[in-house]
Homo-oligomer: A and B are copies of this chain.
């Protein structure tokens, strides 16, 4: 592959399903031609790691080339979390500061409270912390394994990457994109949404190992607690691609005045 011109945008791609997952392959192919691509992703699946970082152990990076329609893309498999991948990529592996980080395409939705548990979103969050425009893309289908599954989400990932590259995002804002698991032609449009209120109702299964010692296996049930309008869940359920702007400040600003009145 020829060296891209220096004025091409540099797009860093990551995920949490691991560098061998079909979603990141589909994403890399979908972004082919949009700029200089580079993939830095976990060597192994890192789902539900949240914003974990590896501070007690070293991490390693192994070169691994990805194939796209126009040729090959430089990739690195990292023995760490998605947030580790972005940190290591930006400080050690990329030739210059990326213009955009795209994380995904995740196998399964990252709507509502799942945002907090999501390694896919955390890669984009880490990029936003580091001052880089970023977006996370998830396909709302847990068992998406073949390229056809990712056709619509890949097309929307490309379109939205183009928009972010041309419009730019405010500092500290990232886009969380969820694509319904339907054919491209059946998607009704794009909806700008907010994160729905929800939780997982846990029901750990207690089992016995061969030595009769108990262990617990998480087996939760997702519960949408949000009857309001304009949520990410509602958009996806109605056949829209959901785009939720996220930000990094967790402060409950509305509670500051009330708490100041407490007798501390």
Known: A59-B215, A173-B255, A214-B60. A53 touches B50 (CB 8 A): yes
A167 adjacent to B92 (CB under 8 Å): no
In the assembled complex, how far is the CB of residue A113 from the closest CB belonging to chain B, in whole angstroms?
6
Of the candidates B92, B163, B192, the one whose C-beta lies within 8 Å of that of A204 is B92
Q: A103-143: which residues lie under 8 A (CB-CB) from chain B? A: 113, 115-117, 122, 125, 129-131
Q: Is A47 an interface residue (CB 8 A)?
A: yes
Known: A216-B92, A264-B159. A52 touches B55 (CB 8 A): no
A128 to nearest B CB, angstroms? 10
Query: How many of chain A's residues have a CB under 8 angstroms from any CB in B?
Result: 78
Among B159, B194, B259, contact of A256 (Cβ-Cβ < 8 Å): B194
Stretch in A1-9, A82-90, A146-154 touching the partner: A82-90
Q: How far is the CA of A53 from the CA of B256 in the complex (A)?
A: 30
Q: Is the contact region of chain A dominated by helix, strand, or loop, or is it mixed?
A: mixed
Report A98 CB to chain B, min CB distance, Å: 14
Residues of B within 8 A of A264 (CB): 159-160, 163, 189-190, 241, 243
Q: Is A54 an interface residue (CB 8 A)?
A: yes
Question: Inside 8 A of A70's CB, which chain B residues have their CB?
Answer: none
Set of chain B residues within 8 Å of A197, measured between Cβ atoms: 172, 248-249
Q: What number of copies of this chain does the assembly contain?
A: 2
Chain B residues near A91 (CB, 8 Å)? Answer: 202-204
Proximity bits, A236-264, B CB within 8 Å = 1, else 0: 00000101111111111101100110111
Q: Name the 10 nearest CB pairs between A and B, nearest first.
A: A50-B51, A190-B264, A50-B50, A247-B252, A245-B252, A245-B255, A58-B215, A194-B251, A246-B250, A50-B52
A-B contact pairs, 30 of them (CB 8 A): A50-B50, A51-B116, A52-B52, A53-B117, A58-B217, A84-B218, A87-B200, A87-B202, A87-B204, A88-B202, A91-B202, A91-B203, A92-B204, A115-B250, A131-B199, A159-B264, A172-B197, A173-B255, A175-B259, A190-B264, A194-B249, A195-B249, A195-B250, A195-B251, A197-B248, A241-B264, A243-B259, A246-B250, A246-B251, A247-B252
